Amino acid sequence: MTSGPAAATPLPAETAPDRRRFRGWAVLLGVVLLASMAASLCFGAVTLTPLQLWTALWSPADLDPTQRIILWDLRLPRTLLAVLVGGGLAAAGTAFQALFRNALADPYVVGASSGAALGATLVLTMGWSTGFAGLGPLPVAAFLGALLAVAAALLLAESGGGSASIASLLLAGTALGAMLSAAVSFLLLWRDQPWFQVFNWLLGSFSGRSWAHVTVSWPYFAVSFVSLWFMARPLDALTLGEETAASLGLPVRRVRIGVIAAATLAAGVAVAISGIIGFVGLIAPHLARLLFGAGHRRLLVASALLGAILLVWADIGARSVLAPVEVPVGILTAALGGPFFLFILRRRGGRLS
């Protein structure tokens, strides 16, 4: 496809073999993702063979009604949501790590998770019941909570005068997170009924999610990912430091707000759909950087694919380990992700990037 000019002049910035190698890897990751999704559709209380799955997908009419419901109404939307949420969180994590030049930044770093938690807790303790687009009030409140928290963190960080420094943004996010968590605890103790429900939701799960969740959420994930991808080169420039980025004519403040908005959109929708799922948005970017380096055009794609694969398998594990009881998937990602993260860290001799 690109062999003409690429072969004529050896390209220093992106040599032809480099590009081909990345395409190979991307295709491989895509295939692994599809296989993982197929596994996710087969495993469960009723196990399907790959052959049954194949026939069921192409001619659902031949399926017996129970199987059709299990496959089409339960497992397929759930698997697609794992893909969307995993990819969205991984892309958001990638962007935040580049923006903060901090390998420990995750999609919730500027307060999205605690804002969402407060929103959800308010709904459950106050018994509000206004939904949106086929969703209950809980996801809507969680989403709004996440966006408000991040906006507040931005405003607080900028109120110090001039444009927000990266450090003050991190501090504002952390301080705000602590305040919001305190509010959540207070609400739960004060109205002492539904804390189990809140807790369960906070731990993250795909249980009982339907097509409504898929159709409502995918456009947001798509907008978030495409916007981040468009900001890939500015993100590259920002990893060289703000002075360098600004000297190249990059409107640093606008880019920063754009990245935060796009990444928070994905994080907020993810929390709204599935609760707070940790570690995917932290691990996937690391793995992707190990494999593909830090050029964000490739990194965002690879990271999203890896995040989707990880979360699909985490969800398979969540409904298999203690079947028929389901473990919240957030417990699984944290329980497995933590040691895995430490393992990478050791292998890399303590270096994070």
Partner 1 sequence: MSGGLLETENLSCGYERCPVISGVTLSLRPGEVLALIGPNGSGKTTLLHTLGRLLAPIEGTVRLDGRSIWERPAREVARALALAPQRAVQTAWPLTVAEAVALGRAPHRGWLLPYTSGDHGSVRAAMERMGVSGLARRTVSTLSGGEVRRVLLARALAQTPRIMLLDEPATYLDLHYQAELLGLVRSLAREDGLAVVLTLHDLALVAPCADRVALLADGRLRAVGTPAEVLRPEVLAPVYGPNLEVLTHPRTGDPLVLPRLPAGGPG
Q: Which residues between 16 and 75 bind partner 1 (CB under 8 A)?
A: none
Which of 26, 53, 76, 103 lies at the binding interface for partner 1 (CB under 8 A)?
A: 103
Other beta carbons less than 10 A from residue 226's beta carbon = 13
Other beta carbons less than 10 A from residue 305's beta carbon = 24
Our CB check for partner 1 shows the closer of 13 and 189 to be 13
Q: Which residue has the tokens 């305190």?
A: 182
Q: Give the nearest distance from C-beta 109 to partner 1 in angstroms.
A: 15
Is 332 one of the binding residues for partner 1 (CB under 8 A)?
Answer: no
Our CB check for partner 1 shows the closer of 155 and 240 to be 240
Is 219 one of the binding residues for partner 1 (CB under 8 A)?
Answer: no
Which of 295, 307, 328, 330 lies at the binding interface for partner 1 (CB under 8 A)?
A: 295
| 118 close to 99: Cβ distance less than 8 angstroms | no
Which of 119, 177, 234, 307 lies at the binding interface for partner 1 (CB under 8 A)?
A: 234
Which of 30, 43, 72, 101 lies at the binding interface for partner 1 (CB under 8 A)?
A: 101
Our CB check for partner 1 shows the closer of 178 and 248 to be 248
Is 136 one of the binding residues for partner 1 (CB under 8 A)?
Answer: no
Query: How far apart are the C-alpha atoms of 25 and 302, rounded to whole Å?
Result: 8
Which of 231, 276, 280, 311 lies at the binding interface for partner 1 (CB under 8 A)?
A: 231
Q: Which residues between 151 and 210 bind partner 1 (CB under 8 A)?
A: 161-162
Q: Where are the alpha helices (DSSP H) in the chain?
A: 3-8, 16-42, 50-58, 65-68, 76-100, 112-126, 137-158, 166-190, 195-202, 211-230, 232-239, 242-247, 252-274, 280-292, 296-320, 329-347
Query: How far apart are the C-alpha atoms of 229 and 92, rounded to whole Å?
Result: 11
| 128 close to 266: Cβ distance less than 8 angstroms | no
Is 249 one of the binding residues for partner 1 (CB under 8 A)?
Answer: yes
Written as six digits, the tokens of 139 are: 């996801």
For residue 132, give the 3-state DSSP assignment: strand
Is 9 one of the binding residues for partner 1 (CB under 8 A)?
Answer: yes
Which of 248, 321, 322, 342 lies at the binding interface for partner 1 (CB under 8 A)?
A: 248
Is 350 one of the binding residues for partner 1 (CB under 8 A)?
Answer: no
- In sequence order, the 6+-apart residues with CB closer than 8 A to the CB of 137 are 123, 128, 129, 130, 131
Binding residues for partner 1, total number by CB under 8 A: 35
Our CB check for partner 1 shows the closer of 249 and 324 to be 249
Query: How far apart are the C-alpha atoms of 77 and 259, rounded to whole Å?
Result: 28
Is 244 one of the binding residues for partner 1 (CB under 8 A)?
Answer: yes
Is 13 one of the binding residues for partner 1 (CB under 8 A)?
Answer: yes
Which of 67, 197, 207, 239 lies at the binding interface for partner 1 (CB under 8 A)?
A: 239
Is 5 one of the binding residues for partner 1 (CB under 8 A)?
Answer: yes
Our CB check for partner 1 shows the closer of 261 and 294 to be 294
Our CB check for partner 1 shows the closer of 192 and 243 to be 243
| 87 close to 30: Cβ distance less than 8 angstroms | no
DSSP 62: G
Kindly report the backbone phi and psi dihedral angles of residue 132, in degrees, each rounded to the nearest multiple of 5, phi listed first.
-155, 130
Interacting residues with partner 1 (CB under 8 A):
5, 9, 11-14, 98, 101-103, 161-162, 230-231, 233-234, 236-237, 239-241, 243-244, 246-251, 289, 293-295, 352-353
